[in-house]
Structure 1
Amino acid sequence: MTWTANSCFVTLAILFLWRVEEIAEACSCSPAHPQQAFCSSDVVIRAKLVGEQEVEVGNDIYGNPIKRIKYEIKQIKMFKGPSQDIDAIYTAPTSAVCGVTLETNGKEYLIAGKLEADGTMHVTLCDFILPWDDTSATQRKSLTQRYEMGCDCKITRCTSIPCMITSPAECLWLDWVMEKSVNGQQAKHYACIKRSDDSCAWYRGSAPPKRDFLDIEDP
């Protein structure tokens, strides 16, 4: 009897640890430059959050209900996504499972997320979400013109010196080593654009890219 009880305890402990590791891995993600977030997301919108409620969206493999937070939104502008408007955004109920907490008092956000097969938009802590008032003029301009021009480029984040690129089609992102922030000058004011020779370089400004490029190694 003791052996059986101990075996059950060990099994439960293993399942618990597996679940904790699964949750931790689910929220493990590297910071992304706004352009990377734009290029990798299914949907990028400017939206006003007007409501919030907890809903059930099905059951897990054990028959337990899967809960989500449903944020009701008023879409202001879609920069990337499906032809129909998005009227709600779904996320996990807590940050422990990658859920995102947003203000629902009419605050406006720039939100990048994934589109599920049923047409609903979902976001996690790994997605790019920023209050609209915190976006720079360059970021707002890039959402409609410039980011898409650089989706074939690779942005390589430098975490410590020395760091380097391995291809002319890369831009070196130095915000972390220069400013100890992933929301530094390159994130706020630059886009990585492909040039006519298929190389990529940082571009700054609100006008369409012409000559105002930075060399790849110069942030």
Structure 2
Amino acid sequence: MTWTVNSCLVTLAILFLWRVEEIAEACSCSPAHPQQAFCSSDVVIRAKVVKGQEIDAGNDIYGNPIKRIKYDIKQIKMFKGPNQDIEAIYTAPSSAVCGVTLDTNGKKEYLITGKLEDDGTMHVTLCDFIEPWDTMSPTQKKSLVQRYEMGCDCKITRCTSIPCTITSQEECLWTDWVMEKNINGPQAKHFACIKRSDGSCAWYRGVAPPKKDFLDIEDP
């Protein structure tokens, strides 16, 4: 009897650890340059959030109820996505499972990137690029229209420690972290990685001059 109880406890402990590991893995994501976020997202919109509520979204494989937060939004502009307005976005109920918390007073504007599900709904997580519109630089706002898309075939490689290098001409080295100890540094705010006519990729500077020059290339 004791062996059976202990076996059950061990099994429960393993299942619990698997569940914790799943949650940890779900929120594991590398920092992304705004251009990377734009290129990898199904939907990129500027919007206000007017309402938020918790809803039921079925059950998981263990039979536990799945909760989601549904944010009703007012779309201001779509930069990338389907040929229809997005009226709501969905996210997990807490940051522990990658849920995103947004102001729902209808006054704050956001840039929101996310994934489009098969049923046509937009889902967002902490790994997506979601920023208050008024904190974005003029270059970031301008690049949403065309410039980021021009570089979607390029690869942005984040430098985490010195020395760091690129391995091909189609890469741009993102050095904000080692230079500024901040992923929201000059390259993120003022540069886009663009493919040139010869097939190589390079950083181009936008409308707001950065504190440091990374390349001798000006805004095309």
1:30-64 deviation per Cα after TM superposition (whole angstroms, max 9, x unaligned):
00000000000000000001100000111112322
Give the counterpart letter for 2:66 in structure 1: I
* Deviation of 1:69 (Å): 0.3
Q: Which residue of 1 aligns with 2:90?
A: 90
* Deviation of 1:110 (Å): 0.3
Q: Distance in 1 between matches of 2:215 and 2:47?
A: 33
Q: Distance in 1 between matches of 2:139 and 2:206?
A: 7
Q: Distance in 2 between matches of 1:15 and 1:162?
A: 42
Q: Which residue of 2 aligns with 1:68?
A: 68
1:111-153 deviation per Cα after TM superposition (whole angstroms, max 9, x unaligned):
0000000000000111110000111100010000100000000
Q: Which residue of 2 aligns with 1:58?
A: 58
Indicate the larger mover: 125-134 or 59-68.
59-68
Q: Which residue of 2 aligns with 1:210?
A: none
Matched, 1:28 2:23: no
Q: Distance in 1 between matches of 2:170 and 2:215?
A: 14
Q: Which residue of 2 aligns with 1:149?
A: 150
Q: Post-superposition, which runs of at least 4 consecutive aligned residues in structure 1 deviate over 4 A?
A: none
Gaps of 5+ in 2: 209-213
Q: Distance in 1 between matches of 2:12 and 2:96?
A: 20
How many residues are paired up?
211
CA contact (8 A) 2:156 2:174 kept: yes
Give the counterpart letter for 2:10 in structure 1: V
Q: Distance in 1 between matches of 2:215 and 2:80?
A: 27
Q: Which residue of 2 aligns with 1:136?
A: 137
Q: Which residue of 2 aligns with 1:168?
A: 169
Q: Distance in 1 between matches of 2:163 and 2:49?
A: 42
CA contact (8 A) 1:201 1:215 kept: no
Indicate the larger mover: 101-110 or 57-66.
57-66
Structure 2 length normalisation: TM-score? 0.93
SS at 2:20 equivalent: helix
Give the counterpart letter for 2:206 in structure 1: G
Give the counterpart letter for 1:173 in structure 2: W
* Deviation of 1:215 (Å): 5.5
* Deviation of 1:214 (Å): 2.8
Distance 1:155 1:215, change over 3 A: farther
Q: Which residue of 1 aligns with 2:78?
A: 78
CA contact (8 A) 1:43 1:114 kept: yes
Q: Which residue of 1 aligns with 2:211?
A: none
* Superposition RMSD in Å: 1.4
Q: Distance in 2 between matches of 1:74 and 1:135?
A: 19
Structure 1 length normalisation: TM-score? 0.94
| Percentage of pairs with the same residue | 85
